[in-house]
Structure 1
Amino acid sequence: MQYEDIYQRELRTLLIACGALANEAIAVLKQPGLTHIELTCLPAKLHNTPQKIPDLLRTKIRENKSKFDKILVLYGDCGTGGGIDAVLQDEGAERIAGAHCYEFYTGTQAFDEIADEEPGTFYLTDFLVRHFDTLIWQGLKLDKHPQLLPQIFGNYKRLVYLAQLSDGRFVEEAKIAAERLGLEFEYVFTGLHTVEDFLFEKVTT
């Protein structure tokens, strides 16, 4: 689709994203037709305490509701058990479809196919590759207690790197991560088209 051909009044739009998706959101918002969208993020570390996300999201929406025509959200359900969707329904905001970023990056059908092919799959995104040591290796205490590795990852068989941006360095780092975890490696380039499609659809309707 040639999004440059879309001519319509630009709505004042705010995109609230998970901090883990900030680089990817910035890349998408450079696309012609989306540069007018403003971006704000909630801290990426909230994924360790997903129960806090809905209330903080509600606060962020209410702080900005009077300033924008439309508020869009770049979050999945993210382990909130429907909490995010309840907030969005109350506050009149909309989010991208998907239970988590793995699903909305790949699209539901493609993600289901990947998951069905091998249920024992551990997923990495660009963000998780960049922060593998901090969030996974150290976050799960594997740096201090390597004996925990089979307990944590014993039921996994492969690591699938869902890549958003083409960066060979990230691919090599993801391969190394798979080796450290003792998992088979697979690379899937998702790009950012699903996020682009979501934003273009919402800012022109």
Structure 2
Amino acid sequence: MAPALIIACGALARELTVVIAANGWQHVQVQCLPADLHNRPEKIPDAVREKIRAARARFGRILVAYADCGTGGLLDRVLEEEGVERLPGAHCYEFYAGSPTFAALADAEPGSFYLTDFLVRHFERLVIRELGIERHPELASQYFGNYRRLVYLAQHEDAQLQEQAWQAAARLGLAFEYRFTGYGDLERAVVRFHRDAEGGPVTEQASWQK
């Protein structure tokens, strides 16, 4: 089979690896960009373009495992120029939850701050340290003063991660809500990518769901 590539945000590496391994797609590879680019979204489009151009000669098909991710349409412009598709939605919260569920969450409380499994695991580094809250605790109220709740969109049912997410909400002074989403549209998009690339068989239920 011709090799296929998924260029991914580092925040999705674990989930993508699970989906690929569960389906036995040995010809599908993942290359990740640093997850902390989300704190500097203006750098994402050029970083993705560089990855695409470096990989094009080696791979028959490429998928970009990013949503818009705060690039304001600039990533889509790059992908249109390069002829590559990306995951659906504005950000990973939307494709994990699914667009209808995410829209309902946003309508119910626009002042919602979202975490995924990855962001719970790396909350201290990506939120507290990257935003300077560790050095200047007063910044927390400036960054999160307009938020009312923290919504944890969980990919796995893990009591320890749920407790960590609750503690993160308490630290930011936000109400806490838990939603189990599984992999949502992420898995569906990867399955479609595989079918388009190779037309091979797809496992009906991935191992992480069993």
Normalised by the length of structure 1, the TM-score is 0.89
Q: Which runs of 5+ in 2 are unaligned?
A: 197-210
Contact 2:7 2:65 survives alignment (8 Å) = yes
Paired residues, number: 196
SS at match of 1:40: strand
Indicate whether 1:50 and 2:41 are aligned: yes
Equivalent of 2:15, from 12, 21, 24? 24
Once the two structures are TM-superposed, the CA of residue 193 in structure 1 deviates from its matched residue by 3.6
Could you say which residue in structure 2 is the equivalent of 1:3? none
Could you say which residue in structure 2 is the equivalent of 1:80? 71
SS at match of 2:89: coil
Equivalent of 2:191, from 182, 185, 200? 200
SS at match of 1:68: coil
Instruction: Report the Cα distance in structure 1 between the residues aligned to 2:25 and 2:100, rounded to whole angstroms.
Output: 26
Give, as a single letter, the amino acid of the residue that structure 1 aligns with 2:82: E
Instruction: Report the Cα distance in structure 2 between the residues aligned to 1:133 and 1:92, rounded to whole angstroms.
Output: 37
Contact 1:28 1:195 survives alignment (8 Å) = no
SS at match of 2:101: helix
1:15-63 CA distance string (max 9 Å, x none):
0000121112112211225443100011112112211111121111111
**Root mean square deviation, CA, Å:** 1.5
Could you say which residue in structure 1 is the equivalent of 2:121? 130
Instruction: Report the Cα distance in structure 2 between the residues aligned to 1:33 and 1:11, rounded to whole angstroms.
Output: 15
Instruction: Report the Cα distance in structure 2 between the residues aligned to 1:70 and 1:56, rounded to whole angstroms.
Output: 18
Contact 1:34 1:200 survives alignment (8 Å) = no
**Alpha-carbon distance change, 50 to 150 in structure 1, aligned in 2, over 3 angstroms:** closer
* Moved segments of 4+, more than 4 Å: none
Could you say which residue in structure 2 is the equivalent of 1:90? 81
Instruction: Report the Cα distance in structure 1 between the residues aligned to 2:42 and 2:146, rounded to whole angstroms.
Output: 26
Instruction: Report the Cα distance in structure 1 between the residues aligned to 2:70 and 2:53, rounded to whole angstroms.
Output: 22
**Alpha-carbon distance change, 152 to 59 in structure 1, aligned in 2, over 3 angstroms:** closer
Equivalent of 2:55, from 45, 61, 64? 64
Deviates more, 1:110-119 or 1:43-52: 43-52
Give, as a single letter, the amino acid of the residue that structure 2 aligns with 1:65: R
**Alpha-carbon distance change, 117 to 34 in structure 1, aligned in 2, over 3 angstroms:** farther
Instruction: Report the Cα distance in structure 1 between the residues aligned to 2:141 and 2:157, rounded to whole angstroms.
Output: 31
Indicate whether 1:159 and 2:150 are aligned: yes
Give, as a single letter, the amino acid of the residue that structure 2 aligns with 1:203: H
1:125-178 CA distance string (max 9 Å, x none):
111111111221223333333333333322211110011122211001001111
SS at match of 1:103: helix
% identical aligned pairs: 54
Give, as a single letter, the amino acid of the residue that structure 2 aligns with 1:62: R
Instruction: Report the Cα distance in structure 2 between the residues aligned to 1:109 and 1:55, rounded to whole angstroms.
Output: 31
Once the two structures are TM-superposed, the CA of residue 196 in structure 1 deviates from its matched residue by 1.5
Q: Which runs of 5+ in 1 are unaligned?
A: 1-9
